[in-house]
Amino acid sequence: MANAILQAFVEAFGLIFSGDPEVFNVVFRSLYASGLGTLLACTWSIPLGIIIGLYSFRGKWVIKGIFHAFIGIPTVALGLLLYLLLSNQGAFGFLHILFTVNGIAFGQAILITPIIVSFTSSALSAADIQIKDLARTLGADQIRTNLAMMRETLWSMILAIIAAFNRGFGELGIAMLVGGNLFQETRVLTTSIAVQTNMGEFPIAIAYGILLISIVFAITLTVNLVQKIKEDEITWKTPRYWKSKVIE
């Protein structure tokens, strides 16, 4: 058994470095769907997160609780709901994006919205405690105070976006139900792994799995390294740096 697994890994690496066009098409399709889905989610999730994090209003904690609860929504259940809504008889059938890569992107945008909203609002709420009193002491108005708090939590927002991208990139239910897993059309890394495993093509499934994990790891590591570099650049600065962020 161990030899069979080792042989499968050897064949998987051979497939990755063989330059197979279908492998690269699947990878590109996955990156496109998750990247577009993340961009779409950011257009409404970040403003919502900022509003929830910076402002007080009736029912705020109920709304935050709803977004927190939907972070762990099963992708199969959401995929089924989206399938019904995007079908020809569904409420959004006029979009004609069912069984398309754009449909997968739209579904992933819905999936990751709670992650971006929750992480963004939580980061801003934490910054609120640390910065608001200082800003008022320095005479900053509400707009400048909010801008300072958003700058302070910029990297937290970026990490939230990366976490959301990784969640969408590694999901299966939406890609399978909304995308339809059409060969050379909507097949992405996760659906390819499922299909090849069911067919007994373990070397190909392992190759796709290695690519999936490698891409997620590389993106996350790159962002963390950039964050570390940025933090090292400001450690030598005096407290005036923080003062200027509030009053400028």
d(CA 42, CA 34): 12
Give the pLDDT of the chain (248 residues) as one tens digit per residue: 566 667 777 777 787 788 788 889 999 999 999 999 999 999 999 999 999 988 888 889 999 999 999 999 999 999 999 999 999 999 999 999 999 999 999 999 999 999 999 999 998 887 766 566 666 666 666 777 777 778 888 888 998 999 999 999 999 999 999 999 999 899 999 999 999 999 988 888 888 999 999 999 999 888 888 777 766 665 555 455 545 555 55
Tokens of 110: 């819905």
The domain segmentation of the chain, as residue ranges, is 20-247
The HSE-up count of residue 57 (CA atoms within 13 Å, CB side) is 9
* CATH number for the domain whose boundaries are 20-247: 1.10.3720.10
d(CA 144, CA 135): 8
Q: Which SS3 state, helix, strand or coil, does residue 208 take? A: helix
d(CA 9, CA 19): 17
pLDDT at 128: 60
d(CA 196, CA 113): 30
**234-243 LR contacts (CB < 8 Å, sep 24+):** 242/134, 243/138
**Global pTM value:** 0.87
Return left, alpha or beta for 160; rule: phi > 0 is left, psi -120 to 50 is alpha, else beta: alpha
pLDDT at 238: 46
